[in-house]
């Protein structure tokens, strides 16, 4: 590796550069084919995969504001079986150098583990990223990632289903994100990714929420301080 090389090593694997497209920003790759050369990336993290297909939230699902955007896609995806049969084979034949990580969601601990079990061994998958910012339906909809016991159980259950690297994706809302990273590591995660979007809401001129779902996740491209003279456009967080 020379001094100009962008190569990185992660999980004992060589990445040709440190650029990985974040989950949900590139679908399952096919959506960006022809827009950029996917195989030049360090890797792609797929859209979230759930056990059952999900239609996602009511439109509009994204809204821009000066300095960023808000999204509430609602984890729309065709479900694990369709992803295994169609999306992943496409990715694995079109990407020969970039790594493929599969982003996994569930609404119970067992759903996470089952998605991992069904995709373990699919060709060319480097590992799994667990989206822990998902509502726990058996605990009144509180995010799994906010509860260290849930994080521990999800990571441990997935660890039992695969030998591939597991990345625990943490919520930005945690009071002690470092502590949660340790919980994930001790349960068997190989890495953590930081962070999911920050919850927010954006109102239109007439006071109604601009997203169909109401609230969403904020992606900021400019610091809030540079938006001071744009009151009314920035989301409430
Ligand atoms: C349109 C869109 C869809 C997303 N879908 C997912 C997803 O399916 N799973 C997930 O873990 N994160 C998802 N994310 C979160 C991103 O992967 C990333 O963590 C987040 O946008 C924070 O990075 P940013 O501040 O650079 O936007 C999504 C983000 C966007 C903008």
Q: Is 215 part of any domain?
A: no
Q: Which residues span the domain enclosing 44?
A: 16-54+74-197
Residues of the chain with pLDDT > 70, as a percent, come to: 94
Q: What is the pLDDT of residues 96-134, one digit of tens each?
A: 999 999 999 999 999 999 999 999 999 999 999 999 998
Q: Is 235 part of any domain?
A: no
**What are the phi and psi torsion angles at 148 (to 5°)?**
-65, -30
Number of domains in the chain: 1
pLDDT at 3 over 80: no
Q: How much is the mean pLDDT over the chain?
A: 93
Task: Report the relative pairing of strands 125-131 and 99-104 from DSSP bridges.
Answer: parallel
Q: How far is residue 22's CA from residue 134's CA, in Å, rounded to a whole number?
A: 16
Q: Is 46 part of any domain?
A: yes
Q: Is 233 part of any domain?
A: no
97 contact partners, CB below 8 Å, separation of at least 6:
16, 39, 40
Residue located nearest, by CA, to atom 27 of ligand 1: 219
Residue 134 annotated in active site: yes
Q: What is the pLDDT of residues 144-168, one digit of tens each?
A: 999 999 999 999 999 999 999 999 9
Q: Is 69 part of any domain?
A: no
Geometric angle at alpha carbon 44, from 40 and 47, rounded to 5°:
150
Q: Is 95 part of any domain?
A: yes
Reported as a pLDDT band with limits 50, 70 and 90, residue 140 is confident
**Catalytic-labelled residue, pool 91, 95, 113, 134:** 134
How many alpha carbons fall within 13 Å on the CB side of residue 138? 7
Q: Which helix (H) or strand (E) holds 160?
A: helix 148-161
Q: Is 227 part of any domain?
A: no
Mean pLDDT across the stretch 206-230?
A: 81
What the block records as the tokens of 111 is 């759903």
Q: Is 33 part of any domain?
A: yes
80: domain CATH number? 3.20.20.70
């Amino acid at each position: 590796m020379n001094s100009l090389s962008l190569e990185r090593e992660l999980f004992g694997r060589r990445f040709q550069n440190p650029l990985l497209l974040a989950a949900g920003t590139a679908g399952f790759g096919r959506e960006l084919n022809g827009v950029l050369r996917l195989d030049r990336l360090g890797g792609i993290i797929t859209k979230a995969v759930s056990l059952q297909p999900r239609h996602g939230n009511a439109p509009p699902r994204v809204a821009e504001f000066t300095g960023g955007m808000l999204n509430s896609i609602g984890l729309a995806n065709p479900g694990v079986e369709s992803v295994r049969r169609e999306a992943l084979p496409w990715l694995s034949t079109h990407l020969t150098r970039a790594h493929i990580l599969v982003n996994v969601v569930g609404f119970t601990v067992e759903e996470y583990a089952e998605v991992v079990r069904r995709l373990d061994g699919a060709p060319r998958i480097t590992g799994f990223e667990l989206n822990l910012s998902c509502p726990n339906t058996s605990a009144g909809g509180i995010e799994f990632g906010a509860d260290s016991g849930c994080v521990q159980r999800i990571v441990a259950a997935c660890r039992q289903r695969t030998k591939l690297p597991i990345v625990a994706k943490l919520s930005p809302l945690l009071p002690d994100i470092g502590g949660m990273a340790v919980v994930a590591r001790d349960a068997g995660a190989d890495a953590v990714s930081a962070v999911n979007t920050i919850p927010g809401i954006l109102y239109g001129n007439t006071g109604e929420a601009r997203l169909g779902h109401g609230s969403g996740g904020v992606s900021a491209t400019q610091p809030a301080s540079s938006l001071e003279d744009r009151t009314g456009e920035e989301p409430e967080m």
